[in-house]
Structure 1
Amino acid sequence: MRKAERLFEVIQLLRLAREPISAQQIAKELGSSQRSVYRDISALKAQNVPIRGEAGIGYILEKGFDMPPLMLTSDELDAAVLGAHWVASRGEPDLAKAAHNFLAKIEVVVPERLRGQVLEPATSVAPVVPTKEMVSSSFLRNAIRLHRKISLVYEDGSGARTERVVWPILLGYRDAGRILAAWCECRSGFRYFRTERMISADIQAQRIPENARALRARWRSAMDHERASYAKQPKGEE
C-alpha cells in the first residue's frame, strides 16, 4: 500500500471510530506495525490534520475535518465505477443519465495513475432488459425526498386494481425491477409495491405526519421482526 493511501486509511478509521482507537487496533486493521502507525499519525499531525490523543491511550479525529476531494483507493474507485455501471444499466433514464455523468466527472478528477480504472474497469455488470413503468421512478424518488403522501392506483398479480394512499419510505432497485417500500393507509401496515404494476400516482399536498427517520426506523423494525418470524418457521423435509 502506498504511503498516501495508508494515511488516507488511517483518517478513515479515525473518522468512523466513535471513541479513541489505539495504535494497535489501527495496525491490525491496516496489516502494519504499531511503529508504522505512530509514524503515520505524526505525519498527519504535521499536515495539520486535527488528531487528538497519544501512544498508549488512543487517537480520535476532531469533528469538522474535511479531506481533500476524491482521495480514493483503487478498491474504492472500483466500487464507485461498478456501482455507477450498475445504476446506468438498471436505473430509470434520469438516474442512468446521472450515473454516466458521474463517470465522466470522476474520470476527469481522479489522479492520472487511476484514470485507467474508470476507462477500462476491472469489473462489469450483466445487461438486463429495462423494466417498463407507467409511473416514473424519478417521480417516486421525488415524493420520498419531499416526504409527501402518494395517491396510487395499483394492479395486483391477478389484474385487480385498487386505490391506495401510501407513505413512501424508499425505492429498492433490483435486477428484475424496482419496489417501493411504503406504509399503506388502506392496509394499516407496511407494504411493497412493484413499480411495473403501478397504473398511476399523484403526490399529495399533505406531508407524511410522521418524522422520516422515525418512519424508516419503524419500517426496519417491522422487517426485522418479519425475518425473525420466518426464520423460526419449521422447514420442510427435502
Structure 2
Amino acid sequence: MARSDRLLELIQFLRTRRHPVKGAQLADEFGVSLRTIYRDIQGLIAKGAPIDGEPGVGYVLRPGFTMPPLMFSTDEIEAIVLGSRMVARSADANLSKAALNAVAKIAAVLPVHRGAEIDAPGLHAGAIRATTQDSVDMAPIRSAIRMERKISISYCDEAGAPTERTIWPISLTFCATVRLLAAWCELRGGYRTFRTDRISAFADTAERYPRRRAVLIREWREIAGLPEPG
C-alpha cells in the first residue's frame, strides 16, 4: 500500500473508533512497523488532522473532522452512488430525493477527471420497488425515530384485525418487498415489528419516549439475536 493510501486508510480507521487506539494495534492493522505508524501519525497531525494521543497511550481522532470527497477511493464512490440510487428506487419520496441530492453534491466537488465515476459508473441499481404500498407518509415516521418520540398508530395484523397502539419507533428496515418498523409497543409491553403497509393511520403524540433510542436498539438487537451492524 502506498503511503498516501495508508494515511487515508489510517484516518478512516481512527474515525470509526471512539476510544484511543494504541500504535501497536495500528501497526498490526496496516502491516507496518510501529515506527512507521508513529511517523504517519505525526505526518497527519502536521497536515492538520485533529489527532490526540501519544506513544504508549493511543490515538483518537477528534469528532467533527471531515475530508473532501475528492479523497474518496473509486470503490467508495461506486458504493455511495450505487447505494444512493438503490435508495432512490425503493424509499419514500423525500428520502429518494435526498439520495439523489447527495450524489449531486458529491459530483459537484469531485475533480473534473473523476466525473465519469458518477456519470457513467460500472455499477447500476436495477428496478427495486416494494410489492406493497404504504398507506401513510414515511417521512414523519422517520422524523419521529430521529426525535425519539412516541406515535399512535392504527394497525391491522396478519389476520386483518384492527388495533390502536402507542409505540416507540426505533428502526425502519427496507426489505425487498416490505418495510418493517421496529418499536416498543405499549399495548404488548415488548418489542414488536410492524409492516408499514398495514399502518392505516398514525399521529405524533409530541411525547418523547422515556429511554434513549440507542439503548432501545441495543436491547432489541440482543433480544432478537441480531448481529451488530458492520
What TM-score, normalized to structure 2? 0.82
Deviation, structure 1 residue 175: 1.6
Shift in alpha-carbon separation, 1:166–1:3, aligned structure 2, 3 A: same
1:159 aligns with 2:160: yes
Distance 1:16-1:138 versus aligned 2 partners, 3 A rule: closer
Q: How many Å apart are 1:122 and its aligned residue?
A: 2.4
Q: Distance in 2 between matches of 1:96 and 1:62?
A: 32
The residue number in structure 1 matching 2:62 is 63
Bigger Rg over Cα: 1
Unaligned runs of 5+ in 1: 229-238
What's the secondary structure of 1:205's corresponding residue?
Answer: strand
Instruction: Give the distance between the partners of 2:193 and 2:27, measured in 1 at CA.
Output: 44
Matched, 1:103 2:103: yes
Partner of 1:220: 221
Bigger shift: 188-197 or 152-161?
Answer: 152-161
What is the CA deviation profile of residues 51-104 of structure 1, one whole-angstrom value per residue up to 9, with x for unaligned ones?
Answer: 5434xx475145257243323122222221121011011111110011111111
Indicate conservation of the 8 Å contact 1:155/1:161, yes or no. yes
C-alpha distance in structure 1 between counterparts of 2:90 and 2:61, whole Å: 39
1:120-153 deviation digits (Å, cap 9, x = unpaired): 2222223133441111111210121232221111
Question: Separation in 1 of the partners of 2:142 and 2:73?
Answer: 30
SS in structure 2 of the partner of residue 9 of structure 1? helix
User: In the alignment, is residue 40 of structure 1 matched against residue 26 of structure 2?
Assistant: no
Q: 1:201 to 1:20 in 2, by over 3 A?
A: closer
1:234 alignment partner in structure 2: none
Aligned residues, how many? Answer: 223
Q: Counterpart amino acid of 2:59? A: I
What are the superposed Cα offsets for residues 166-193 of structure 1, whole Å, 9 maximum, x if unpaired?
1111111112121110111111111111
Partner residue, 1:236: none
Q: Partner amino acid for 2:82?
A: L
The C-alpha deviation readout for 1:186-232, integer Å capped at 9, x for no partner, is 111111111111111111133222333332232223212xx69xxxx
> 1:104-123 maps to which residues of 2 (within 5 A)?
104-123=104-123
For 2:63 and 2:149, the matched residues in 1 are separated by 32
User: Residues 41, 205 of structure 1: CA spacing in aligned structure 2 closer, same or farther, 3 A cutoff?
Assistant: closer
Q: Which moved more, 1:126-135 or 1:35-44?
A: 35-44
Other structure's SS at 1:124 match: coil
Moved more, 105-114 or 24-33: 24-33
Q: Which runs of 5+ in 2 are unaligned?
A: none
Q: Any residues of structure 2 matched to 1:1-238 within 5 Å, and which?
A: 3-17=3-17, 18-22=19-23, 25-30=25-30, 37=37, 40-51=40-51, 52-54=53-55, 57=56, 60-61=59-60, 63-64=62-63, 66-70=65-69, 71-130=71-130, 131-224=132-225
Measured in 2, the distance between the counterparts of 1:2 and 1:119 equals 28
State TM-score, norm by structure 1: 0.80
Distance 1:21 1:183, change over 3 A: same
Distance 1:209 1:8 in 2: 40
Contact 1:14 1:59 survives alignment (8 Å):
no
Do the aligned partners of residues 45 and 167 (structure 1) sit closer, same or farther apart at CA in structure 2, a change above 3 Å counting? closer
Is the CA contact 1:50–1:65 (under 8 Å) kept in the aligned structure 2? no
Deviation at 1:36, TM superposition (A): 5.5
